[in-house]
Chain A
């Protein structure tokens, strides 16, 4: 089990024989499916390009920054997130039904998919390896504070923690608390503080001095 997990992280430079077998299999499949006319390699290129360069956590950061600066938008987002997020142009696959979760000083939200890897693609892109890994999927619902400690942070004692297991087609986006010391900041500047992990609930936004 440990080997499997390690391989998830390092399989591009470990275990060469197995890697090349997998690589050959994928190539063979692409060849066969292309020869049969089932797939178009140019469409595959565009799918990859879309998720590598266009759809990612920057989208979600813009949603959160808007919620931090525009109370009416925040209200719409928390009431019915899918149309609110579509106002910013983000919609579609693996984000057909989105629910936004508000962190407060009393309540911290965390999102997991214990059964596979469900994740709100239009706002966060594709999930990171750790999100899909056995340690996260097993531990998040039982010991979420232990997970946070793996990420190097601690919630104040007495903070309630709520874990949302994405078992259906509802996708969850955490709206973290706006960091102190950002009064008067523009939406764009605030978006630089919103980390991917803060929108999953395994991290916090950057503080003003930490922004890149």
Chain B
């Protein structure tokens, strides 16, 4: 979806502000929000693409007004409510009021290390050969799906070069919508700075994105 999360190249007046000796978390609630989010994916049964969409799918002013972990919290609440794992009256009451729904698995303390080590690899066996080869010119399609996508707006319509073929990977546009993994070939596509930003930009700049085959057409 087009949204405020898609920030590449958007004008911004503030400088980047590094924070010396930055703590990992800035408040206790951030620790808990982070950990609850990681732990709930197992009983919740959602995937990372669904989580990302639940975070980004909100009005721009809401996305921009919330801090990073407030967005995580809002995304988590949405997933819980959508699946009926929590009801709105329970959030209002700050306690469980209804019986738990049966869930397949939960994350125990003993299972944490294995879960983190396993991660979520996304590469899958290919069912057909890759359409593009390294060195080929491709154009990022000018698409604006209302659903989840990982093709940033600043490359849409622009021509780049396939630099690497990265294998066949779970396609977020399908996976986020519950339509299955639908694996697609993934490529690193490199764009010249002037192609993206015009001739006034940095003459020594190249930018790449990792783009799935359905995002690309031959140029």
Binding site for B on A (CB under 8 A): 1-5, 7-9, 11-12, 19, 22-33, 35-40, 42-48, 50-52, 91-97, 112, 114-117, 125-126, 128-130, 132-145, 147, 150-151, 158-170, 197, 202
Interchain CA distance A43-B38 in the complex, whole Å: 10
Q: Judging by beta carbons under 8 Å apart, are A115 and B106 in contact? A: no
Cβ contact within 8 Å between A161 and B94: no
Across the interface, do B73 and A33 meet the contact criterion of CB distance under 8 Å? no
Name the CB-closest residue of B to A112.
B8
- Whether, in the assembled complex, B9 has its beta carbon less than 8 Å from a beta carbon of chain A, the answer is yes
Question: B17 within 8 Å of A by Cβ?
Answer: yes
Contact assessment for B43 and A39 in the assembled complex, using a CB-CB cutoff below 8 Å: yes
Q: CB-nearest residue of chain B relative to A136?
A: B16
Q: Mark B15-40, 1 if CB is under 8 A from A, else 0.
A: 11111001011111101111110111
Instruction: Report whether A30 and B112 are in contact in the complex, using a CB–CB cutoff of 8 Å.
Output: no
Interface of B, helix, strand, loop or mixed by DSSP: mixed
Does B27 lie within 8 Å of A92, measured CB to CB? no
Closest chain A residue to B7, Cβ basis: A137
Smallest CB–CB gap between B106 and chain A, Å?
6
- A170 pairs with B166, CB closer than 8 A: yes
Contact with A along B148-163 (1 / 0, CB 8 A): 0011101000000000
What are the interface flags for B73-106 relative to A under an 8 Å C-beta threshold, 1 for contact and 0 otherwise? Answer: 1001100100001100011001110001101001
Given known contacts A42-B109, A97-B123, A150 and B17 CB-to-CB distance under 8 angstroms? yes
Q: Quick one: given A36-B100, A38-B43, A137-B8, are A167 and B151 in contact (CB under 8 Å)?
A: yes
Contact of B68 among A95, A117, A139 (CB under 8 A): A117
Q: Would you call A142 and B209 a contact (CB within 8 A)?
A: no
Identify which of A1, A135, A142, A162 gathers the most chain B CB atoms within 10 Å of its CB. A142
Q: Within 8 Å CB of B64, what residues of A?
A: 1, 4, 134
- In the complex, the 7 A-B pairs of residues with the closest C-beta atoms, listed nearest first: A114-B8, A28-B94, A168-B210, A36-B100, A44-B35, A35-B96, A137-B7
If A93-B120, A161-B202 touch, does A43 touch B31 (CB 8 Å cutoff)? no
Number of B residues near A (Cβ < 8 Å) is 96
B26 touches A129 (CB 8 A): yes
Set A23, A51, A197: member contacting B27, Cβ < 8 A: A23
Q: In the complex, A19→B67 CA distance in Å?
A: 10
A-B contact pairs, 21 of them (CB 8 A): A22-B29, A23-B29, A32-B90, A33-B36, A39-B36, A40-B39, A47-B38, A52-B25, A52-B31, A114-B7, A130-B18, A134-B7, A136-B16, A141-B154, A151-B16, A158-B204, A162-B207, A164-B208, A165-B208, A167-B211, A170-B186
Contacting A165 at CB < 8 Å: which of B8, B33, B201, B202? Answer: B8
**Could you list 11 further interchain pairs (A-B, Cβ under 8 angstroms) beyond the known A5-B14, A12-B26?**
A19-B29, A25-B77, A38-B40, A39-B36, A92-B119, A97-B122, A114-B8, A150-B17, A160-B204, A168-B210, A168-B211
